[in-house]
């Protein structure tokens, strides 16, 4: 027989938890309204498990389709953490070492023209210290959905951009004036190159490698680098808000040739499985997907060792965590991971939020819930 006093206590605790959840939901909905963001999906990871998922607002305003567990979001630059995971899987199998020159694995030569004798390494690419720059004059039309030409294969795109004989090679714009390894320069092209290196080393297309070696073992059944597998009514529609018109403006579903840097789409539950695996030292549902050493290399507890791909973020408690954000036309995303508590948080939105302090408020609200 259960003790009545305990039943009362459990009921009170359940009621308090529900009240707290309802309060958080109300605050999040109010914040979305204030920030003019149509929809949001969030997930929290604790102890290697998904502890909760939540859904707010609309994935499609015109058709009044709410955000649900089946809504597929464009996660933008958070994609880089998945690309890095693919790279580290191959590194763990001994195909290369992080400080190897990437030219040993490419069909075209990549060097900084100002420092032709300095090798560019896998580690430098992972740390955005390769000296490869994003030439905005060439890349913005792709990223802002203005490019109307034919799809460009990843290898062709990169050879044209990085090889001295390439038709879009511009030495002074495609590279920075610093020796590889000496300067931080956030590089989408660098991560596209990492995706291509996965292709070359694994001898299969990058998207196929990710599907077989990451998405399948992680049971990420609603994840793809490309739009084709998804029904249109499952995609979160990207929106920009026009203050002058006081209305939301629908953006196209973006696609671009440097896709390993930021084109992944998935449900929040799928991405939470990836983060749960990461927080569990690379294991998921009893399966070893990543080596613990690989997780430690990219997100070490001792941050003085140097971290790769992820960035450091300080919560209001001043607890250091790792994070990666993503942004694009009508897309804003954030993912955080605490290597000490093994907790993580994901926020995916189909609206634009670039204000750091507003992000902090939203992150703090959901992190503590």
Mean local confidence (pLDDT), 323-347 = 96
Q: How confident is the model at residue 317 (pLDDT cuts 50, 70, 90)?
A: low
**Are the C-beta atoms of 287 and 219 separated by less than 8 Å?**
no
Does residue 3 sit within a domain? no
Helix-then-strand count for the chain, H and E: 11, 14
Does residue 170 sit within a domain? yes
Mean local confidence (pLDDT), 145-150 = 90
- Tens digit of pLDDT for each residue in 264-305? 999 999 999 999 999 999 999 999 999 999 999 999 998 887
Q: Count the alpha carbons within 13 Å of 90 in the hemisphere toward its beta carbon.
A: 25
Same domain, 132 and 195: yes
Does residue 297 sit within a domain? yes
Same domain, 237 and 120: no
The CATH number linked to 348 is 3.40.710.10
Same domain, 360 and 221: yes
Same domain, 352 and 220: yes
Does residue 122 sit within a domain? yes
Mean local confidence (pLDDT), 154-165 = 98
Tokens of 3: 């003790």
Same domain, 356 and 239: yes
Q: d(Cα 198, Cα 192) in Å, to the nearest integer? A: 10
Domain end marker among 146, 179, 206: 206
Domain end marker among 206, 240, 261: 206
Does residue 2 sit within a domain? no
User: Packing angle between helix 356-367 and helix 4-35, nearest 10 degrees?
Assistant: 170
Mean local confidence (pLDDT), 222-233 = 96
Q: What is the DSSP letter of 284?
A: E
Q: d(Cα 46, Cα 276) in Å, to the nearest integer? A: 8
Q: Which residue, among 262, 189, 253, has the nearest Cα to 225 in the 3D structure?
A: 262
**Structural domains of the chain, count:** 2
pLDDT at 271: 98
Same domain, 173 and 317: no
Classify strands 283-284 and 287-288 as parallel, antiparallel or unpaired. Answer: antiparallel
At a CB cut-off of 8 Å and minimum separation 6, what does 83 contact?
191, 194, 195, 198, 260, 261
| Structural domain for 344, as ranges | 28-81+214-367
Residue 4 has pLDDT above 50, yes or no: no
Same domain, 233 and 332: yes
Same domain, 267 and 349: yes
């Amino acid at each position: 027989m259960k003790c009545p006093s305990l039943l009362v206590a459990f009921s009170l605790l359940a009621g308090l938890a529900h009240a707290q959840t309802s309060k958080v939901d109300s605050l999040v909905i109010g914040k979305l309204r204030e920030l003019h963001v149509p929809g949001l999906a969030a997930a929290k990871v604790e102890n290697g498990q998904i502890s909760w998922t939540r859904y707010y607002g609309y994935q499609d305003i015109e058709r009044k389709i709410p955000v649900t567990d089946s809504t597929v979001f464009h996660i933008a630059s958070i994609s880089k953490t998945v690309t890095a995971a693919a790279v580290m899987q191959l590194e763990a199998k001994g195909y290369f070492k992080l400080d190897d020159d990437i030219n040993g694995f490419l069909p075209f030569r990549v060097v900084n023209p100002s420092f032709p004798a300095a090798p560019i390494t896998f580690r430098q690419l992972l740390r955005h210290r390769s000296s490869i720059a994003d030439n905005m004059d060439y890349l913005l039309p792709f990223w802002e959905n203005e490019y109307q030409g034919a799809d460009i294969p990843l290898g062709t795109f990169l050879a044209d951009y990085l090889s001295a004989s390439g038709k879009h090679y511009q030495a002074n714009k495609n590279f920075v004036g610093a020796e590889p390894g000496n300067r931080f320069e956030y590089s989408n092209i660098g991560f596209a190159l990492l995706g291509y290196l996965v292709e070359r080393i694994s001898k299969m297309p990058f998207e196929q490698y990710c599907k077989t070696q990451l998405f399948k073992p992680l049971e990420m059944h609603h994840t793809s680098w490309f739009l084709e597998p998804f029904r249109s009514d499952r995609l979160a529609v990207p929106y920009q808000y026009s203050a002058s018109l006081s209305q939301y403006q629908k953006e196209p579903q973006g696609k671009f040739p440097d896709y390993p840097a930021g084109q992944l789409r998935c449900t929040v539950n799928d991405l939470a499985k990836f983060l749960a695996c990461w927080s569990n030292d690379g294991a998921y549902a009893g399966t070893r997907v990543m080596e613990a050493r690989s997780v430690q290399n990219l997100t070490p507890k001792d941050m003085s060792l140097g971290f790769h791909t992820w960035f450091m973020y300080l919560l209001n408690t001043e607890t250091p965590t790792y994070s990666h954000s993503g942004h694009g036309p009508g897309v804003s995303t954030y993912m955080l991971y605490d290597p000490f508590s093994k907790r993580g948080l994901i926020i995916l939105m189909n609206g634009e939020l670039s204000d750091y302090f507003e992000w902090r408020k939203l992150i703090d609200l959901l992190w503590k819930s």
